[in-house]
Amino acid sequence: MQISVVIPLLNEEQSLAELYNWIAKVMRSNSFSYEILFIDDGSTDASWETIESLSNLDSSVKGIRFNRNYGKSQALHAGFLKAKGDVIITMDADLQDNPEEIPELYEMITMNGYDLVSGWKKKRYDNVVTKNLPSKLFNAAARKTSGVKLHDFNCGLKAYKKEVIKNIDVYGEMHRYIPVLAKNAGYYKITEKVVQHQARKYGTTKFGINRFIHGFLDLISIWFLSKFGRRPMHLFGALGVLMFIIGLVAAGWIGFSKLYKLYHGIPNVLVTSNPWFYISLTVMIIGTQFFLAGFLGELILRSKREKERYLIKKTTTNI
């Protein structure tokens, strides 16, 4: 199979049939062998019934329905596990991503040898204050922190070589950072393509301004995990030892100063009356805690077990 189209969705019943017809038209006109995977992330409208109807009409349409809303990352994770195509295309279900981009994205993966191609919505039809400006700030921070030179990390329209999505783990809210996860896994041939962005035709956006706050927090998490995720002791242990030594040297100096002044008859205060004694003691305690945190992190890393992060309520019969 050449292409798998993975589409996470939440309450998009109005757009699903139109999106399917558009994708199918593009696929058939280019003679692609394909499948369309709709991942229903706990919709409360008739989205799942629409998916089942489409699946009954066309065996290339497959669906997975979550027990409740788990988030876009979990939906992509489930779709990636089931995808069979040599190239995996992800897009949103709100008709803001253009399926006409699929042939060129496919060619960039298969002919130009890229591991990942990310869409760049250079001209957007979103609200400037609530979406465009925060998105620009977010993308600038992501580029600076991750070293991946993309203009639009949030764009849902992306293309992946099958090998990439089978070897990275999309969890939490990390769907924004799949290019970073890919880079950390050793897939460096990452590029972007300017894609057409369309105004939302049906419904309302499912993401608010809080997604950018969560995005920045996730960015810090992924930076930390990429640097120290496999060796937490390298960070916490080093900080702990350094702080403990600083506190110990400071405490030693206070003790030496006390003895020196006593020997020379110089008036002095009790060690426990010296505020620097408590500062050095606190630094030593914090250093010990950092070291223990690193040690516990190593133990957890070595003993962790994989656990399903979502419950699948139903799938179409052809999946």
Exposure string over 188-218, b if 16+ CB within 10 A, otherwise e: eebebbebebeeeeebeeeeeeebbeebbeb
Average pLDDT, rounded, for the chain: 85
Residue 51 has pLDDT above 80, yes or no: yes
Q: How far is CA 19 from CA 136, 140, 231, in A?
A: 28, 31, 45
| C-alpha span between 66 and 290 (Å, rounded) | 39
Residue 128 has pLDDT above 80, yes or no: no
pLDDT of residue 226: 66
| C-alpha span between 41 and 47 (Å, rounded) | 10
Domain ranges within the chain, ordered by starting residue: 3-229, 232-303
CB atoms within 10 A of CB 311: 10
pLDDT of residue 255: 83
Residue spans of beta strands (DSSP E) within 167-272? 190-194
Tokens of 302: 């070595």
What pLDDT digit, counting tens, does each position of 172-185 carry? 777 888 998 899 88
Tell me the HSE value of 318 on the side-chain side, using a 13 A CA sphere: 18
29-40 mean pLDDT: 97
Contact indicator for 41, 10 with CB cutoff of 8 Å: yes
The set of residues, in sequence order, having a beta carbon less than 8 Å from that of 125 and lying 6+ positions away, is 96, 197, 198, 199, 200
Q: Output 234 or 49, whichever has higher pLDDT.
A: 49
Question: pTM above 0.75?
Answer: no
99-125 mean pLDDT: 92
Contact indicator for 316, 52 with CB cutoff of 8 Å: yes
pLDDT of residue 65: 97
CATH number of 3-229: 3.90.550.10
CA geometry: angle 103, 62, 24, nearest 5 deg: 35
pLDDT of residue 302: 58
pLDDT of residue 117: 97
Q: Output 206 or 53, whichever has higher pLDDT.
A: 53
| C-alpha span between 204 and 11 (Å, rounded) | 10
| C-alpha span between 221 and 157 (Å, rounded) | 24
Which element (helix H / strand E) includes 102?
Answer: helix 102-110
| C-alpha span between 42 and 40 (Å, rounded) | 6
> Looking at the DSSP assignment, which residues form a beta bridge with residue 228?
none
Tokens of 160: 């992946």
- Span of 46-55, 108-117, 200-209 with lowest mean pLDDT: 200-209
pLDDT of residue 19: 96
40-63 mean pLDDT: 96
Residue 133 has pLDDT above 80, yes or no: no
Q: With cut-offs at 50, 70 and 90, classify the pLDDT of residue 295.
A: confident
Tokens of 295: 């040690």
What pLDDT digit, counting tens, does each position of 211-250 carry? 666 666 666 776 676 666 667 777 788 888 889 999 889 8
Query: Which of 34-48, 111-125, 229-243 ranks highest by mean pLDDT?
Result: 34-48
